[in-house]
Every structure is written in structure tokens, then in C-alpha cells.
Chains A and B, each alone.
Chain A
Amino acid sequence: MTSQVSSPIDEEHDPAVAGTREVPGTAGGQRAPGKETRRLERVIIRFAGDSGDGMQLTGDRFTSETASFGNDLSTLPNFPAEIRAPAGTLPGVSSFQLHFADHDILTPGDAPDVLVAMNPAALKANIADLPRGAEVIVNTDEFTKRALQKVGYPASPLEDGSLDGYSVHQVPLTTLTLEALKGSGLARRDAERAKNMFALGLLSWMYHRPTESTEAFLRTKFARKPEIAEANITAYRAGWNFGETTEDFAVSYEVAPAAAAFPPGTYRNISGNLALAYGLVSASVRSGLPLFLGSYPITPASDILHELSRHKRFGVRTFQAEDEIAAIGAALGAAFGGSLAVTTTSGPGVALKSETIGLAVSLELPLLVVDIQRGGPSTGLPTKTEQADLLQAMHGRNGEAPVPVVAPATPADCFDAALEAARIATVYRTPVILLSDGYLANGSEPWRIPEVSELPDLRVRFASGPNHTKADGTQEFWPYLRDPETLARPWAVPGTPGLEHRIGGIEKQDGTGNISYDPANHDLMVRTRQAKVDGIAVPDVVVDDPDGPDGPDGTRTLVLGWGSTYGPITAAVRRLRRAGGKVAQAHLRHLNPFPANLGRVLSGYERVVVPEMNLGQLAQMLRAKYLVDVVSYNQVTGLPFKAEQLARAIAELGGVSDLDAAGELDALGEQGRSKGQERTDV
């Protein structure tokens, strides 16, 4: 148990963590005496199994239990693109990692403290990520000769000593589940499928998770098959009771609610794609515009289509198009008609939509293009994360076609980013690209539920009458006469009498919008469209720099990120600061235009380190625009950065030399463990 920071719980001391939670299947809900309970600050659990084993569901349920308990948390689902890859193979392994704590945390965690491996493939695919001393719970039933051979184990790792450094719990999960369901009348095959719930029950016991919500969830999920619901609940309770009674599990753990980490408010757990969908519905309500989503199914964006299709009572129209091009085309048509128009996709879809985005730039109509980035190029890694569409978003169109780009930083931030993208689109009459990614989309974290009245006012103004007086004194409507402040053109929707007008992708005369091939006019229009986007009001980038850049002892290194790297970067910066390093941190939400103060911020530091999950796309933009010699740190593994690795990289590349003492770099990864009960790790 060296991997988990623990201490015996003094139940008298803190009634909030007493082992008196109501539990299923035990008389009075009391835990058996004689078992030790220890308190932890934080735990990282990884559930791993076949893609058909229900690991994502297991992880989701554990997350919900943890969220409702009040821990801070962050999750990392990781699954193959194949729906049911061949059973028992390494490519078929699906996992779900959850980091939860009694303090605020920012990442799903670098290395699991506990691995639940449902078969040899899951063990083999994940064991390298575990530090020595970590707990491993294996389903021994699946460790057959054939299953071992399938993944290239010459001998069982449970017997050959290769797991000696770990605390291994050998549990016949399948057998125990079948026993628990004896007499349920279920076929063996169906009964076996409940083994993930047995595992969940066991882990729920180990970590004192509340269990009511999972039972209620199972009853709802299988409402039409009550026998399946009961079987899952029985397996779940059996798993809980197994932990309670077996001697193999002598210790259970408490992780207290992270009360201090959260400002007052009502919270829920939310994934990035759900938050994004809610942000879009909210933008519709707050703008007074009906929401129209044109979309074509694509991983990892489809969940937004699914979610929005359920909200018809908000007037949300979802249109599943024949292809990506039709999806954005329909959205653009709806935008012309006065809808809040959205298309959702991933990188390959953006490539197909490029021409229509260019048309939207030319038409100057509001349109949200949501890109849930995944590994590329081409089909790439559909279920994995990457940030490599930034330059596509910036430049992936013919001609000078500037498009504002907004990127959320965390799963919950997808909500606010959607509202911000809607604000820019409607105020400036422009397509906006919102760059989320697979990590944000599927990852989740607690979210303070906002009051509707707190949300931004997004009401828009439609043109309702003429805006230009002809020489003869008569009034007419000019569709390209601009607002002098925003340079936005009027949004005149069909159905408005007297404003009939034609727009198109051919160059238009300034003001009238009539077709024009005039050289000077084209030059003016190209520059005006650029000036409109350049002039979009975006908030200054905020720098977190406790020491400040000035003076001989000032901070010399800035870490600058964008999008989903916020969590890992912030975690890495915290580690560096705890080791005595001086590091400033800033994070960009607006990639186009950049915040007005960005140039000043960059020039205030000797070194600027830019970590990105691409080969340096933001770095390239910064170098081009500000002539700053930023240092790029890149990773394109399809997975988010790990905090420890990033901390080292920032220290090295950023020349953070003022760390505490010799060996400080080595200590970076061990902060959480070496400093005992302090809230140190992230």
C-alpha cells in the first residue's frame, strides 16, 4: 500500500467520514468491525476490460457515486474505435480512469493507484502505467491458458512473480458473480455480464462510495427488463459484501468530500460534450433564436447530436444530414433564416466543410462549427484526443477567410465556450470554430450549475427596415452596410418586408452587396472581413504569476497553453511551484483573434514554453505574429499530457533553475507522496 497516502481514520475526529453510510445488503448498513479504514487525499482508479465488458459504464457509475459524495474528480475514458474488438485481445481493451480527491484536482491523474483488470489483455495493456506498490484487482477466471496466450503471456503473470512489486488481489469475479446469481433464472451468459457490477460493488465498498444512485440507475436503465436490473443489483451488492467479508481486503479507504475546493453552489458532474450541448441550448434560449443543428455522425462528436435531439421541447431542430457538407449547408440555410445554426463534427468533417465555412465567411452569417478534435491525419485515431486541427481551423479554406476560433479548457468549460462562440457569431455575423477535443468531450468533472439569469444576454438585432437613402431620397436596404463599431453587416431574415436581398459567394460590392469584380473593391472587402475578425472584442489573457516578471528575482518563464491542456499544465505548474520553481502560467481561450495583451505578456518573459498535443501549431502562430522565440513541447500519443512529465519538460525547456534543492526534478513526480497530508498533488 505504498502508493496510497493513507492514515488511520479517527472517526471521532471527523464525523463526515465515519463508516456509517447506508449500504446495501448489510443489516443496518453497518460495516463489520475489525476492518481498518484509512483516509486518503486522493485516489486514481482505472477500470480495464474488454470493450464489451462494460468498463465505460462501470467507470461512469463510480464517477457518479463519487460526484454525489462531493469529491473533486476528473475522468479519462479510453476506448478503441471498434465497437466490439475481438474478445481478449490487446486492441480490444477499453479503460476508464478516474481521479478523485478531497481537494481540487485538474487531471485524471498520471498513474493509477488501483487497476481493475477484467482479463489478461487488460492487465498487459495497463500494468506498465502502474507504479510499484499499486493495487491490482484481477479477475482470475479469465486467466486461462488460451486467454494468456492470446496476448502473449508465456506464463501466468499471477504466478511467475512478475507482479511481485504490486499488491495483487486475485478475485474470481466471474465465478462469484455466477454464484450470486444462482437461482436468478438468468442464462449463464447473461449472468456473466453482471460481473462488471460485482467489480463496481467491490470498489464501492473499498472507497466508501454511496450506493443508492447506482441501484436507482440500474432500475431505470433496465426498467423494461426488471430481471436484468435485479441481477445487476444483486451482483453489485455481492461485490460490496465480498469486500466486507473476505480477508483479502483488509482495508477500506475514505476520501473526504472536497468541500474547500468548491465555491458554494449546486454541483453536478458533467462531460465536455454534454456541457457543450447544454451551452448551445442555453445560447438558443438567451438569444431568443431557435437552435438548428446540422450534423453527420462522427466520433467523438456524435454525442452532441444525440443530446440535442432529445431537447425538441426547447424548439431545437436536429438534422442528421447525408454528409458533412450537407450538415453545414443545412445549418447555413437555417442561419440565413434566423436560426442559431450549429454544425458539430471532428477534424475530417471540418475538412469537408471547408468550402461552406468559406461561404459563411463571405455571406457573413452567424454559424457555429464545433470541432471535437481527434487524432489525425485522415481517419487517424477516432477515439483518441489531439489538438492538431488548430491550423486547419485558422487557415483551412481557400482565399483570405478569417474565422474566429474559441477553445474550451476543461469539460465543464465547454458550456461557457459554447456561449462565447454564440456571442461572437451573432454579434459579428461570422462563422466561429469551437475547438474541443476527445479528452474534453468524454472526460468529466464537477460543474457548478449556473442560474439562468447569470448567463450572458445574447439577444440579437434583426434588420427591420431600410438603412440607406438613395440620391433621390428614397430608402433602400443595403445588406453589406456595416455597423461602424463591430463591422458586422445587418442580419435581415426572409419574411421581413422591404429587405429582399440576394447574397452569395461571389465578391460583393461594399455596402450594396451587388456582384462586383472591381479590383479596389475586392481589396477593400478582403481587408474589411479581416479587420472585422481582428477587431472582435475578446478578454485579455490572464497571467497567473505569483512572483511577477519584474525585478532580478522575477519569474523568467511563462507556460502558455490552449484548450484541453489546461488541466495537465496547471497541475504541472503547481508541482513546479511547490518545488520552489518560479513559473508563470497563461491559457488561451481565444485563438483568433488573440487577446490584445498577448504580445505584451509574451515579451515580458525570457522563455515561453508552449505545450501542445500537436507538433507546435500554436507555437507557429505565436512566432509568426509576435516574433517571439517560443519553445514548443509536443505530444501526439492520442492521450493527454501527464502532469509529472509536463513539469519536467517545463523545468527543462523553460530553464526553471530556481527549484528547491538538488534532485528537485526527481521529486516532481513524488510530491503527493513525500509531503504526507498536505494538499499537494493535483
Chain B
Amino acid sequence: MSETTTNGTGPAAGGLGVMPLSSARSLELVPKADGPQSAKDFKSDQEVRWCPGCGDYAILAAVQSFMPELGLARENVVFVSGIGCSSRFPYYMNTYGMHSIHGRAPAIATGLAASRRDLSVWVVTGDGDALSIGGNHLIHALRRNVNLKILLFNNRIYGLTKGQYSPTSEIGKITKSTPMGSLDAPFNPLSLALGAEASFVARTIDSDRKHLQSVLRAAAEHEGTALVEIYQNCNIFNDGAFDTLKDKVSAQEAVIRLEHGAPIRFGAPAEDGLGAKGVVRDRATGDLRVIDVTVEGTDEVLVHDARAASPTTAFALTRLADADTLHHTPIGVLRDVSRPVYDTQMADQLDQAVQQQGAGDLGALLAGNDTWTVAG
């Protein structure tokens, strides 16, 4: 077997160790592919073992066909996952990958991304993995703003353990573990992420490949942690959970497509070609509400600003959806702001230490200052 040996005179500068001082864009330090790539390049030789009809297939295909767009050297891409159906994802990507333990993927990926800025690190997780057992790691990853892209497959159910309610299930959900209905209120993952100081928050849907890929693109370009919630259908234990958003007719009322810089309009087209409904700020409460623009006029319709410094409006947008009917569910990039990136700053501190004190001298470190000598 061919191997390379490390140099036992300290970590190599510019290799795995100290990176050059730079405030890189998210992928600037990741080596690029030699030539053009195709989706096939990202398919591993492993048989995909999700249930037939699972929404995960669509997401996998979308990711595999999106990756060539990034043009990254495949060996510098890593997918890390936790436990659950979605967390099998890395096995099917012909990149480096780790299928870890329940809830811990953000922590593991943080260590990898913070120590290897030449990698593009992706986390694949589910609603149980990310929001129940791994909730703590998720919020702290978002707070730190490590250069990670977190894909949260939300099917509002526990699939791999066969159908218990999840932290995103609606109240009153009848499942194997809640025969009389679940009692606890669900998390809204995007509200949670915004509360955790996330610098990038987006939502998309498994079946809408074009939209999904556009969100992935924005996430990949974002510096720092990106949280992408992907509504994903579990056709075995929670089939049709997002049908309202997928059916062309009902989607008109239900889905609010957000685009940075565009007025937030949705619904059947009005005379101006845009949706007949719009989102405005209520003057009395400051909250957002949906209006009928044909009646109230278009002037007051909110223009979506994903780059707004304050997360307040983005938060309000996450609260528009009706928990039961899913009406007024915003999709797209809710927030995309620039904030110091943990791994960049960590590397900068190492560089600074070298600049200020010189590279480490092990002999001098061990010797210290207070010594005495015993003569032979």
C-alpha cells in the first residue's frame, strides 16, 4: 500500500497546520477539480437503501447533480451525518464521509472544518437527529458560524425507529408512542436557527429540484454555517405531510417564495403578474401579516431583504406559516448575512501567534524559565 509519512519536526505550515492569513470566501481554500464533473462522479458504488418512494432519493439526486456546479476536487468534499434515515446519505456520495452517532454530526463536522479549511464540509441530519438528541450541537454550531453546510431533512416523524412523533410533529399527532396524540409543541427549525444567531437560514422542498439546488448554491457560497431545512416526505410513516406545499393548486396559497430584493407576493397572479397576496408589516403590532394586494394595494408589501442586519423580520417570516395547514409557508433564503467565521478566526489566531512570538520552539517551551542544573 502506498503511504506518505509525516514530517516529525512539527506540523507542516500551510498543510494541515497553519493556514495562510486570509479572510477567504467559503470555498476559496478548497482545491478545484481538474476537469468538468458530472452527477455520476458523486455517486458511490453503494446500493441506496431508502424505502421506495422516499423523499431522500430526490434530495440525493439533486445534491449529486448540483455538486459538479461547485467544481470542487471531490476528495476535498466531506459529508458527515448522525443517525436516522437521512443520515445514511454519506454512504451514497462518492466523497469522503462519516456516518456518526445520533445528534453529533454538527460537533464532529465542527472539528473537521475548524482543523481543515481546505475542505467543503456538509452535514446531513434529520428533525430528530438535529432538533432532539442533537439540539445542543445544532444551536452552538450556528452560534459559532463554522464553515459548515447543514442540510436538515425534516419529515416531521421518526422514520428509522418506525414512526414515533418528532420534535417537529404537529401537536396531537397520533403515532405508535402517542396513541392519544402527542402533547408537546413542535419546534419551528428556522425560528430556532434564527434565535441561535444563524447567519444563513433557508428552506426548500425535496420535490422541487430547481429550488432545492438554488438554495444549495446560496448555502455553498455562504461563509459560515448555513442551515437548510428541506421538507422531505416520509411515505411510510408520515406520507403527504407536505402535500399542501407540493400540489400546484394548493401551493399557490400555501407557499411564499422568497427572493432577495423582491416584494413578498404569492398566490394566484394579480393584474401586475405577481401574486395576489402579499406580506406587509402590521402598523399596530410590528408583526407581519398577509394581505390581499388587489384590495389593499401593493405599496406596503414588504421587500425581502435576506441581508438585513437584524433577524427580526426573518423571524417574523418564519412565524407566518400556519402550523396545522402549512398555509403561508415561506421557502427560499430567509437570512444570509456576513459574520466572522469561526474557523477563519481560529486560523488567524494561530497565524497571529506565530507573527507575534515566532513559530513554536519545543526545546524552549520544555525548558521554561525556572531551571537548575545538576552537573555530572
Residues of A whose CB lies within 8 Å of any CB of B are 64, 67-70, 213, 259, 262-269, 278, 281-282, 284-292, 294, 311-317, 319, 321-323, 325-327, 329-339, 341, 355-356, 358-359, 363, 449-452, 457-467, 481, 490, 493-506, 514-515
User: Once the chains bind, are B2 and A465 in contact (CB under 8 Å)?
Assistant: yes
Contacts A259-B374, A266-B373, A285-B10 given; does A505 touch B115 at CB 8 Å: no
Residue of B nearest to A514 (CB): B46
Which residues from A are CB-within-8-Å of B349? 312
- Cα A290 to Cα B357 with chains together (Å): 18
Contacts A311-B365, A313-B350 given; does A213 touch B370 at CB 8 Å: yes
User: Once the chains bind, are B115 and A460 in contact (CB under 8 Å)?
Assistant: no
Known pairs A268-B372, A316-B350, A464-B2 / 9 extra A-B pairs, C-beta < 8 Å: A311-B365, A313-B350, A326-B104, A336-B78, A358-B101, A461-B3, A462-B4, A466-B2, A495-B73
User: Once the chains bind, are A319 and B12 in contact (CB under 8 Å)?
Assistant: no
> Across the A-B interface, how many residue pairs have beta carbons closer than 8 Å?
274
- Min CB gap A60→B, angstroms: 11
User: Once the chains bind, are A329 and B75 in contact (CB under 8 Å)?
Assistant: no
- Cα A496 to Cα B373 with chains together (Å): 47
User: Once the chains bind, are A268 and B371 in contact (CB under 8 Å)?
Assistant: yes
Judged by a CB distance under 8 angstroms, whether B212 is at the interface is no
Sample of 30 A–B contacts (CB below 8 Å): A265-B374, A268-B372, A288-B7, A312-B352, A313-B353, A314-B11, A326-B107, A326-B137, A329-B107, A329-B108, A329-B110, A333-B109, A337-B115, A341-B111, A450-B366, A460-B6, A463-B2, A464-B2, A490-B3, A494-B77, A494-B116, A495-B119, A500-B75, A500-B95, A502-B99, A503-B98, A504-B91, A504-B98, A504-B99, A505-B101
User: Once the chains bind, are B367 and A449 in contact (CB under 8 Å)?
Assistant: yes
Judged by a CB distance under 8 angstroms, whether B100 is at the interface is yes
Which residues from B are CB-within-8-Å of A315? 10-11, 13, 17-18, 350, 360
Q: Which B residues between 301 and 359 are near A, CB-CB below 8 angstroms?
A: 346, 349-350, 352-354, 357-359
- Cα A419 to Cα B4 with chains together (Å): 22
Contact of A496 among B75, B98, B104, B353 (CB under 8 A): B75
Judged by a CB distance under 8 angstroms, whether B5 is at the interface is yes
- Min CB gap A416→B, angstroms: 12
- Cα A138 to Cα B101 with chains together (Å): 57
Contact of A490 among B1, B10, B366 (CB under 8 A): B1
Contacts A265-B373, A463-B2, A501-B96 given; does A334 touch B368 at CB 8 Å: no
Which residues from A are CB-within-8-Å of B119? 337, 494-495
User: Once the chains bind, are B99 and A339 in contact (CB under 8 Å)?
Assistant: no
Residue of B nearest to A292 (CB): B115
Contacts A288-B7, A334-B115, A502-B90 given; does A67 touch B75 at CB 8 Å: no
Which residues from A are CB-within-8-Å of B12? 288
- Cα A501 to Cα B346 with chains together (Å): 28
- Cα A493 to Cα B4 with chains together (Å): 11
Which residues from A are CB-within-8-Å of B365? 278, 281, 311, 314
- Cα A287 to Cα B9 with chains together (Å): 7
- Cα A327 to Cα B109 with chains together (Å): 12
Contact of B363 among A262, A288, A316, A451 (CB under 8 A): A451
Judged by a CB distance under 8 angstroms, whether B294 is at the interface is no
Judged by a CB distance under 8 angstroms, whether B295 is at the interface is no
- Cα A464 to Cα B2 with chains together (Å): 5
Contacts A213-B370, A504-B91, A506-B99 given; does A459 touch B6 at CB 8 Å: yes
User: Once the chains bind, are B107 and A494 in contact (CB under 8 Å)?
Assistant: no
Contact of B1 among A290, A337, A467 (CB under 8 A): A467
- Cα A331 to Cα B74 with chains together (Å): 23
- Min CB gap A656→B, angstroms: 35
Residue of B nearest to A284 (CB): B11
User: Once the chains bind, are A322 and B136 in contact (CB under 8 Å)?
Assistant: yes
Residue of A nearest to B75 (CB): A497
Contacts A267-B372, A281-B362, A449-B366 given; does A336 touch B112 at CB 8 Å: yes
User: Once the chains bind, are B2 and A504 in contact (CB under 8 Å)?
Assistant: no
* Contact indicator per residue, chain B 210-233, by CB within 8 Å of chain A (1) or not (0): 000000000000000000000000
Contact of B8 among A267, A286, A466, A500 (CB under 8 A): A286
- Cα A506 to Cα B160 with chains together (Å): 14
- Min CB gap A484→B, angstroms: 11
Judged by a CB distance under 8 angstroms, whether B298 is at the interface is no
User: Once the chains bind, are B8 and A459 in contact (CB under 8 Å)?
Assistant: yes
Contact of A459 among B7, B350, B368 (CB under 8 A): B7
Contacts A287-B8, A458-B8 given; does A337 touch B350 at CB 8 Å: no
User: Once the chains bind, are B360 and A502 in contact (CB under 8 Å)?
Assistant: no
- Min CB gap A466→B, angstroms: 8
Which residues from A are CB-within-8-Å of B375? 264
Which residues from A are CB-within-8-Å of B372? 67-70, 266-268
- Cα A325 to Cα B101 with chains together (Å): 11
Which residues from B are CB-within-8-Å of A290? 11, 16-17, 115
- Cα A464 to Cα B46 with chains together (Å): 23
- Min CB gap B289→A, angstroms: 36
Judged by a CB distance under 8 angstroms, whether B292 is at the interface is no
Contact of B76 among A263, A494, A514 (CB under 8 A): A494
Judged by a CB distance under 8 angstroms, whether B376 is at the interface is yes
Which residues from A are CB-within-8-Å of B352? 312
User: Once the chains bind, are A313 and B359 in contact (CB under 8 Å)?
Assistant: yes
- Cα A278 to Cα B360 with chains together (Å): 12
Which residues from A are CB-within-8-Å of B109? 333
User: Once the chains bind, are B74 and A500 in contact (CB under 8 Å)?
Assistant: yes
- Cα A327 to Cα B70 with chains together (Å): 31
- Min CB gap B371→A, angstroms: 5
Q: Which B residues between 80 and 118 are near A, CB-CB below 8 angstroms?
A: 80, 90-91, 93-101, 104, 107-116, 118
